[in-house]
Structure 1
Amino acid sequence: MTQITQAFACADDLFGFPRFPDNVREASRFPMKNGPSLFVPDRDDAYVFRKDHVRIIQFWAVGAEKNILLQGETGTGKTSLIEQVAARLQWPTFTVGCHGGLEFQELIGRVTLQPDGSTGWADGPLIAAMRNGGIFLLDEMNFLKPEVAGGLNTVLQATSYTVPETGETVWAHPDFRIAATGNAVDGVGKGAYRGTQTPNIALLSRFSLGIRVSYMSIQDEQKMIEAKAGGIAPSVSAYLCELADMVRKSHAEGALKAPMSPRETISCARRLTAYSGNLTGDDAVQAQCNSMANALEMTFLFRWAPEERQEFLRAATSVAKRLALPIVLE
């Protein structure tokens, strides 16, 4: 099969960084597909890339390494990182949400009934990515049963796969890539992710490239919130980011039951803008501050037990006082 990568683009143009010096730009090139494809993820222009992530992703994108593993807490953006890189490179992505009931055969494909009444083979996501030159994305890999993970050991280093049902040998396209994400892959904090399996050494050794994804900085998260929740007051978005940072640190120390993910800060900001409507300036700030308790409750706190909820609200009130915002939560 002929490789269809046609062009290259520099990382600063692709990922929204300030222009690199000319002597650096040439070394920051990424291969572009000549798409479009139905399987390319939607582009999110509010997504904020981190240079340290992009440097590692480049080894994977150019094919220096075929497999990459991203691990980190829930909500840190592991899956989004792969999807948003793929969106900018026009790279087809075949995603599998891993779970305890997933069978290896579902990744390969199956014999199905055709429109004319005959039977024929339908590629699963792994074979589709291998055949067409796309990304096979295993989301939350450590939910896989050991026997399914064991079946992947060979595929992760293979250049071909023979389909038992048809006898066809599918040769891996030069642009075939594998990405996997997981929570507590290193075993730290595993108790917070019920149902996860500890991947065996044989499987992990197939991933010789990886990223430990942490939560984004307060500044980057604020930039993303303001891009996704138009109308949020900057002082209020700053409060949400400071609050989320406090919650994550308290969770890591065992003081609070769960972290506050970027998904939840964005949802909360959108609800606040709904409360403030068309107000602007100080009126918008006041309306959003007045609505904070309701927005947090319907977005995040409704899942918490009363005593844990009160502990969160006391800490959140202290953040509001530190930032001199008229937010009353207790």
Structure 2
Amino acid sequence: MQATNNGLVKFPLASTFNIEVRDNATIMGFADTTNPFIPEITSSYVFRKEFVIEFRAFLHRPDGDAYYVTGPTGSGKTSGITEILGRLNWPVQQVTAHGRMELSDLIGHHALVSATPGAAPTMQFMHGPLALAMKHGHVLLINEIDMMDPSELSGLNDILEDRPLVIAQNAGEIIKPHPMFRVVATGNSVGQGDASGLYQGISMQNIASMDRYRVAVVDYDEAVDALILEAAFPKLPAILRNGMINVAQHVRQLFKGEDGQGGSISVTMSTRTLKRWATLTCMFKGHPTALKYGLEMALLRRAKPEEATAITQIASDVFGSEWA
């Protein structure tokens, strides 16, 4: 690490994220490792090189932009962000949006607070994740942001243009954005609604709001899946790991369809589900049909009967005698 001013340091890009880049490439982060808002990291996490490089550019110089990561469920949108920020000791204020979320939920609210247990409470203003991130130079991470009401989300427009936050309900408190303050969002759409009908609750967002975001796309990646399974389940035979990935690829194609707007089934084998399948297969390795039993618990029991039958047939074709 190379120390800089204001508690910042430069981390070597290649060794920090185990990606192939030029030896002198660095990425900015914090020296302090004690902040409770620093995300926890997974030592075996596998990074996508392109995603790291694009996110690094945003962190270094947002130029008035926010960062929007889109992709199918369980493809690594949130984990990719938090794993990077965790290694940079960059604190994160993380929330998950929903249809009833209001801008005031991000700014803060008044609450009765006791200074010590048993003491008489007094009314105090409690800063929300947006106010805390702006004040202290944290990243505000809003997951599932496309589920938020577009009229409420547009309230962030001034903030994204580097203007101060004025909290009228706290006697007009003014918070100027910290130089290290960043806004990052994730969503299953790109603000245009959900044409597939698979992601319930997604709203079409205001075009003026979306114009303030850089967009990164994260999709399922079989090569990354292979590295993840190898690192997490080294004792699982390679032939079984590869078979699981093969099944996952077929299921994803059925889920996404040829045009990517929704296919013939309503469930998918995300990377999250793939890891769950491998975990359960290892846990129940004494079961006479451990592969099938693990897949049932990981995915099939929440699929429609005809979908479960189709996925089971795919797995049977892929694994052959191993399936039985």
With 232-241 and 150-159 compared, the bigger mean Cα shift is at: 150-159
Retained in 2: the 8 A contact 1:232–1:270? Answer: no
Aligned residue in 2 for 1:57: 55
Partner of 1:270: 279
Alpha carbons 1:4, 1:34 under 8 Å: kept? no
The answer on whether the counterparts of 1:102 and 1:144 sit within 8 Å (CA) in structure 2 is yes
In the alignment, the residues of structure 2 paired with residue 308 and residue 32 of structure 1 have an alpha-carbon distance, to the nearest angstrom, of 46
User: What is the alpha-carbon distance in structure 1 between the residues aligned to residue 182 and residue 9 of structure 2?
Assistant: 18
Query: How far apart are residue 249 of structure 1 and its match?
Result: 0.9
Q: Which moved more, 1:88-97 or 1:257-266?
A: 257-266
Flag the 1:111–1:25 CA change in 2: closer, same or farther, 3 A: same
Pick the aligned partner of 2:130 from 113, 126, 131.
126
CA distance in structure 2 between the aligned counterparts of 1:200 and 1:107, rounded to whole angstroms = 19
Partner of 1:226: 230
Amino acid at match of 2:31: N
1:48 aligns with: 46
Cα deviation for residue 275 of structure 1 reads 2.2
1:136 counterpart = 2:140 = yes
Q: CA RMSD in A?
A: 2.0
Which residue in the other structure is 1:31 paired with?
28
Q: CA deviation at 1:5?
A: 4.1
Offset, 1:98? 0.4
Q: Which amino acid is the alignment partner of residue 243 of structure 1?
A: V
Distance change (3 Å), C-alpha of 1:188 and 1:106: closer
Partner of 2:113: 114
Match for residue 210 of structure 2? 204
**Mapped contact 2:267–2:303 kept (Cα < 8 A):** no
Q: In structure 2, how many angstroms separate the alpha carbons of the residues matched to 1:141 and 1:34?
A: 30
Residue 59 of structure 1 deviates from its aligned partner by 1.2
Q: Deviations over 1:139-176 (max 9, x none)?
A: 01110012211212222223311111221111111110
* C-alpha displacement of 1:123: 0.8
Return the TM-score normalized by structure 2: 0.89
Q: Once structures 1 and 2 are overlaid, which stretch shifts more, 121-130 or 220-229?
A: 220-229
Q: Determine the C-alpha separation between the residues in 2 that align with 1:190 and 1:92.
A: 35
Aligned partner (choices 2, 9, 12) of residue 10 of structure 1: 12
**Matched residues in 2 for 1:303 and 1:144: separation?**
26
How has the CA–CA distance of structure 1 residues 316 and 255 changed in structure 2, closer, same or farther, with 3 Å as cutoff?
farther
> Structure 1 residue 245: deviation in Å?
0.9
Distance 1:104 1:190 in 2: 28
Greater helix share, structure number: 1
Counterpart check, 1:153 vs 2:153: no
Give 1:276 deviation, angstroms.
2.7
Letter in 2 for 1:10: P
Change (3 A) 1:63 1:89: same
User: 5+ residue gaps in structure 1?
Assistant: 278-286
1: CA distance between counterparts of 2:244 and 2:195? 25
Counting only pairs closer than 5 Å after superposition, residues 89-108 of structure 1 correspond to structure 2 as 89-108=88-107
Equivalent pairs, count: 307
Q: Is the 8 A contact 1:47 1:224 kept in 2?
A: yes
Distance apart, 1:268 and its partner CA? 1.0
Structure 2: 5+ residue runs without aligned partners? 116-120, 258-262
Aligned mates of 1:230, 1:105 — CA distance in 2: 47
Secondary structure, counterpart of 2:100 in structure 1 = coil
Q: Distance in 2 between matches of 1:309 and 1:182?
A: 27
For residue 240 of structure 1, what is the aligned residue in structure 2?
Answer: 244
Contact 1:230 1:273 in 2 (8 A): no
Name the counterpart of 2:118. Answer: none
Q: Equivalents in 1 of 2:137, 2:112: separation in Å?
A: 26
